[in-house]
Chain A
Amino acid sequence: MCLAVPMKISSIDGFLCVCEARGIKREVSLFMLQDDSLKVGDHVLVHVGYAIQKVSDQEAAESWQLFDEMLATENTA
């Protein structure tokens, strides 16, 4: 529940957007970031369906490396 993951914005409709990461698409609310001018292609940190902060592309890529490792470990546990 508390794990926030970086996702890439693929379309925006008002305060709602569709985000993508690792081929998975999710509807995400931008209500908490409405003061940041976000655009398609930006990365945001998503927690329980809400974008809580903007992140750089590099930070997003590095975080996913870790999650992949964590998932790999937990699947074998």
Chain B
Amino acid sequence: MKDAAHWLDALRDLDIATPIRIMNVCGGHERSISVAGLRTALPEKIELIPGPGCPVCICPEEDVYEAIQLALHEDITLVAFGDMLRVPVNAPKREPRSLEQAKAAGADIRPIASPTEAVRIANSDPARTVVFFAAGFETTTAPVAAMLSEGAPKNLLVLLSGRLTWPAVAMLLESEAPGFDALIAPGHVSTVMGPEEWQFVVDKHGLPAAIAGFRADTLLAAMYSVVEQLQSGRRALDNCYPEVVRPGGNTLARRQLDEVMQVYDANWRGVGVIPRSGYRLREKYAAHDSRRVFRSYADESRKRVGEMPPGCDCARVVLGKVYPNECRLYGLACTPRKPIGPCMVSDEGACRIWWSSGYRENRWEGRRQEKTNV
């Protein structure tokens, strides 16, 4: 593969007349782009927009609330990926507003890094029910499916908040103003699900798309691909990460997903319901489904139920409508030390990535109107 400098030169050699907006939909891509400083290295006319790439950010507020209430009211151990513990919900004052606060209030809540850890915790005390609050995109949800397919301990239940990435891109493309001209498709989602999932961007919407890995060379190769396509009129889904993205993806993993879960129209925090964008457990796994085993703690009377915290622009950041530093609170009231919204909590949240890579200026004053109007 040619190196990053080669692709950067190739991109600089292109004569780009009108601005080109390239969206990525993966927190890992956004991190590599920010850390490698690609935004400043690229020609000015190329705009890189972080899109729906953070599963923690769009995990329904109601689901986080449910997890908190389960941990507080049922005799269980609740385990969740570490990022989920600090995600804030809109609970009334004096009530815990995150899993971390519920833990401080005495609930048995533990961060885990893998479904195998959930299995180990459940096995260590078979008399105690363990609920695994599992939020994530395909790459994370497939291992959860594998865990259940392999045969999880009886006392291990799953509170599933799995989401698919492509339906969010489809929703944007079907809207009046998608806000981007080309797509960099996620490398590890494609590793599991296969590159074919992204073909619709090209076939149905006529936009160039390329799958990228996480090093600067593959990201730049993908960017060159889509810009060259826009200029030449060629249209294709280019695979710039063939080392691990193979036709059909990981077919066994996809079979396991399909055996354990079914796709349904699911809610995204601050965004609303996106058709065919969520996973839920099939009937066959009802005994492992926390939503079927426990009563629901949903409380529709809560203020701002389902929404982002007051003042937080995460939903529009996630949809690529504004840049992180165009939020009024960015870097002022909201920093990784004292995050207000999930985009500053999660390692994959665009706000946190931008802050950690050194963007310190708040651009709320100078912000554009919705980027779609540019």
A residues whose Cβ falls under 8 Å from a Cβ of B: 1-4, 15-16, 27-29, 31-35, 45, 47-50, 52-53, 55-56, 59, 62-63, 65-66, 69-70, 73-74, 77
Closest to A60 in B: B243
* Contact B188 A49, beta carbon cutoff 8 Å: no
With A1-B348, A50-B146 as given contacts, are A32 and B114 in contact (CB-CB < 8 Å)? Answer: no
Interface residues on B, range: 35 or more
CA distance A66 to B79 in the complex (A): 31
B-chain residues with CB within 8 Å of residue A52 when the two chains form the complex? 139, 142-143, 188, 191-192, 250, 253
Contact mask for chain B residues 346-358; partner A; CB cutoff 8 A; 1 contact, 0 none: 1110000000111
Interface SS of B by simple majority? helix
Given contacts A47-B139, A50-B142, 15 further A-B contacts (CB under 8 A): A1-B82, A1-B346, A2-B55, A2-B188, A3-B31, A4-B188, A29-B114, A32-B252, A48-B113, A49-B117, A50-B146, A52-B188, A56-B243, A59-B244, A73-B35
Residues of chain B from 119 to 147 with CB closer than 8 A to chain A in the complex: 136-137, 139-140, 142-143, 146-147
With A3-B28, A32-B256 as given contacts, are A45 and B81 in contact (CB-CB < 8 Å)? Answer: no
A-chain residues with CB within 8 Å of residue B139 when the two chains form the complex? 2, 4, 47-48, 52
CA distance A19 to B114 in the complex (A): 14
| Cβ of B107 to closest chain A Cβ, rounded Å | 22
Q: Does B340 belong to the interface (CB within 8 Å)?
A: no
Closest to B118 in A: A49
CA distance A50 to B36 in the complex (A): 27
Q: Does B83 belong to the interface (CB within 8 Å)?
A: yes
With A2-B27, A4-B139 as given contacts, are A77 and B356 in contact (CB-CB < 8 Å)? Answer: yes
* Contact A70 B32, beta carbon cutoff 8 Å: yes
